Amino acid sequence: MPGLSRKVPAWLPVLVLLIAMASIQSGASLAKSLFPVVGAPGVTALRLALGTLILVCIFKPWRLRFAREQRLPLLFYGLSLGAMNYLFYLSIQRIPLGIAVALEFTGPLAVALFASRRLVDFIWVALAVLGLWFLLPLGQNVAHVDLAGAALALAAGACWAVYILAGQRAGEEHGPATVAMGSLIAALVFVPIGALQAGDALWHWSILPLGLAIAILSTALPYSLEMIALTRLPTRTFGTLMSMEPALAAISGMIFLGEVLTFSQTLALGAIIAASMGSTLTQRRESKIEHVDIG
């Protein structure tokens, strides 16, 4: 109701968005703590299976009708969603959570930067490259990051870029309900893969409550809160706040997993956050960049 929306304090949507981001990173930390039991593929299967079930119950995707030209983008959308989850969890099995999220963030950042050709955008490109230089193990004693883990995080970022581009075409008519259909496609492909790799450990009843908590913290709760924030915040403000996510991931990793970053890694993470914030603040009004979390 319009009358009620005007009474909402300006700080409330910001707080809602911060809670959503904290929820996502708490879910990622909980997922990582479960890796010794079922492995990253097993956690991926749990999150996709239970998260998809929640989204399907909320959005009822069987009611949606997609035009013929939307079906191929929808397929890519769902496959990239599943690949993002799978590759991201494989990456945080090897590298700290904050570093993985920062590297993964280069995907949507690249989409934003390639959408513009202005001189100021080269500043954000330079900051992003500087951050990557110190995060990636490109020389001796540079960042001490596992190369395979870094590559997996970057691959997850590339899938995130595909997810954004395909999602814009697939979800033009159905909006957030498209997430449920995309998650269903992802689950049909990656839940069997994760279950096969996890083996018998995945089928213990003691795992189910943790899997449900991961699905709620990483999918159902943040997606719902983000939609509330999206309807009450300017796009530029929303994108700028979301740029803080790598920092929240690093804090979550320190609190819940005991992960401590080196000074150079902290500076690198800050450079990538600054590049993302700068890109968001200086992008043209007509630019459309979708942000959906996977961490």
Kindly state the average pLDDT of the residues 44-52: 93
Q: What is the band of 142 on the pLDDT scale with cuts at 50, 70, 90? A: very low
Helix ranges (DSSP H) in 93-220: 97-104, 106-114, 121-135, 147-170, 177-198, 207-215
CA-based angle 136:137:141, to the nearest 5? 125
Instruction: Kindly indicate the confidence band of residue 286, based on its pLDDT and cuts at 50, 70 and 90.
Output: very low
Residue type for position 21: M
**pLDDT value of position 3:** 45
Digit-coded pLDDT (tens) for 173-196: 666 678 888 899 999 999 999 999
Asked if residues 281 and 112 have their Cβ atoms less than 8 Å apart, the reply is no
Per-residue pLDDT, 2: 46
At residue 164, does pLDDT exceed 50? yes
Tokens of 214: 């991961």
Residue range 253-265: mean pLDDT, rounded: 89
Query: In the numeric block, which tokens belong to residue 262?
Result: 């080196």
Residue 4 in this model has a pLDDT that exceeds 50: no
pLDDT at 109 over 60: yes
pLDDT score at 29: 93
> Residue 94: CB partners within 8 Å, gap ≥ 6?
146, 148, 149, 152
Which residue in 291, 211, 252, 229 sits closest to 51, CA to CA? 211
pLDDT category, 289, cuts 50, 70, 90?
very low
pLDDT tens digit sequence for 24-47: 999 999 999 999 999 999 999 999
Distance of CA 115 to the CA centre of its chain: 20
